[in-house]
Structure 1
Amino acid sequence: MEEVEVVVAHQERATLRVGDVFLKIDPDQLRTDVEVEAMAIAPIPTPEVLWRKPPVLALAALPGTALGRLGEPSTASPAAWAAAGAAARKLHDAPLPPWPGRSPDELASALDAECAWLITNDVLPTDLVTRNRRIAEGALRPWPPVFTHGDLQVAHVFVDGDEITGVVDWSEASRGDALFDLAILTLGHEEHLADVVAGYGTDVDLDVIRAWWSLRSLIAVRWLVEHGFDPSSPGCEVDVLRSRL
């Protein structure tokens, strides 16, 4: 009998694996609508949709293994990281999805609120928050919108050798900043940034990528804490913030 593996579970949604099938359970059907449509129009490999019966979406497992995990060294080759950069570029060159993403003003408001929460509740030292906030403001500038994955973390990119076999978890896909995707892909894996940029194939502003590392980490801490994750684990968000100093 196949065992049920809990891939991730929290108050908002859960993902289970049974053999070669992933079952995503999400009561927010608008989020699932985005995921299904984004996978259908993305120009890079994505999981096959096997069936959908709300609140469950069944997806076929991708071959290969994840490019890495936040907080753990990646064993993937430099060529695999470059391939991930090339896949991101192909996505960013595709036609825009029909729905918008968050604007710089919306992100600035979120940054204000999260920094205030972190300081008021003594979650992180004030100096760590304020210095990273100054860095994060570098990401809040006008950008040409592209088709972004929205959560292109290393655990969502699957590789077999040096080849990308697919990208999962498209529920945050939208029009957005290309450099945000590159920042999420390299968050906690700064040593692979040059490989990703080489595969991406164009000049990028590394300071903006670093600004996105700070911004994303600052606004993620509260959500992670409230959903049972530990952002202070080695190599994770709090360490990313400390590394910016």
Structure 2
Amino acid sequence: MTAVGVPKTMAGVAEVEVVIAHRERATLRVGDVFLKIDGDQTRTDVEVEAMAMAPVPTPAVLWRRPPVLALAALPGTSLARLGRPSTASPAAWAAVGAAVRRLHDAPLPPWPGRSLDETAARLDAECEWLLANDVLPGDLVTRNRELAEAVFRPCTPVFTHGDLHVAHVFVDGDEVTGVLDWSEAARGDGLFDLAVLTMRHPERLADVVAGYGADVDLDVVRAWWSVRSLLAVRWLAEHGFDPFAPGYEVDVLRARM
């Protein structure tokens, strides 16, 4: 035994950190390796193929033995932590906007995404559930559902990440070093990516758009804030997360009032 009571054979073994875990999937970190465990191998197939296609930095795939995918850690730090203010510079946020634009300008992935009609049906079902179960005040749900209507308009699909929240984007100074978690990548509305990126940091929207470098309908971006939040409340609650936590989805919906 060592002085601190650890067997010598265990010296130097990295701790196992649970990054995220719920009923659908889990991500563990062991030293500089991330182990993603997903019961749905279709999601893992999408993730591996999307990372190979994306024109932005992504983690290196070390090995894959279903249901486990091993990825190398990215340099830098996440753009922000969920529920906390971002300490990244405006230039870093603009650099992320530029990276998102490169993704959206890339050739489309061969698999389709969810249509706007499907999104509308899901949204109506979630709003009915929120109201029927008194999860949120009626005026909060109704007003955000009205605001959400702006996303249902003709748009040209692009290569979207599909879950581009701040914890999935890594930066080092003002440089983007990588983007994680591509299992939701598909053809879709590019403004959805911008919305997920900024919904908890609305004060950074102008920086992201400046880096994105194209005409962006800000009303549609904000409408996606409402859509994303309304769709997420039940899922978060059922998977062990608190949508009422400061800065999370219910706060986003309240801010839209």
| TM-score for both structures, normalised by structure 2 | 0.95
Of residues 162, 166, 185 in structure 2, which corresponds to 1:173?
Answer: 185
Give the counterpart letter for 1:62 in structure 2: L
- Contact 1:104 1:142 (C-alpha < 8 Å) held by counterparts: no
1:191, distance to aligned residue in structure 2 (A): 0.5
Helix, strand or coil at the partner of 1:62: coil
RMSD: 0.5
Of residues 31, 35, 43 in structure 2, which corresponds to 1:19?
Answer: 31
Cα distance between partner residues in 2 of 1:140 and 1:72: 31
Say whether residues 1:132 and 2:151 are aligned partners.
Answer: no
Q: In the alignment, what sits opposite 1:99? A: 111
Q: Which runs of 4+ in 1 moved over 6 A?
A: none
Cα distance between partner residues in 2 of 1:143 and 1:137: 14
Say whether residues 1:188 and 2:200 are aligned partners.
Answer: yes
Of residues 83, 95, 112 in structure 2, which corresponds to 1:83?
Answer: 95
Helix, strand or coil at the partner of 1:231: coil
Cα distance between partner residues in 2 of 1:120 and 1:140: 24
Q: Any stretches of 5+ residues in structure 1 without a counterpart? A: none
Q: Any stretches of 5+ residues in structure 2 without a counterpart? A: 1-12
Q: In the alignment, what sits opposite 1:202? A: 214
Cα distance between partner residues in 2 of 1:69 and 1:218: 21
1:203, distance to aligned residue in structure 2 (A): 1.2
Cα distance between partner residues in 2 of 1:70 and 1:198: 23
Of residues 9, 31, 42 in structure 2, which corresponds to 1:30?
Answer: 42
Larger Rg: 2
Q: In the alignment, what sits opposite 2:175? A: 163
Say whether residues 1:50 and 2:43 are aligned partners.
Answer: no
Q: In the alignment, what sits opposite 2:156? A: 144
1:143, distance to aligned residue in structure 2 (A): 1.1
1:138, distance to aligned residue in structure 2 (A): 0.7
Q: In the alignment, what sits opposite 1:220? A: 232
Q: In the alignment, what sits opposite 2:3? A: none
Cα distance between partner residues in 2 of 1:238 and 1:116: 16
1:238, distance to aligned residue in structure 2 (A): 0.2
Helix, strand or coil at the partner of 1:100: coil
Cα distance between partner residues in 2 of 1:70 and 1:121: 27
| Identical amino acids, percent of aligned pairs | 79
1:8, distance to aligned residue in structure 2 (A): 0.1
Helix, strand or coil at the partner of 1:14: strand
Give the counterpart letter for 1:131 in structure 2: R
Cα distance between partner residues in 1 of 2:113 and 2:20: 25
Q: Deviations over 1:71-93 (max 9, x none)?
A: 21000000000000000000000
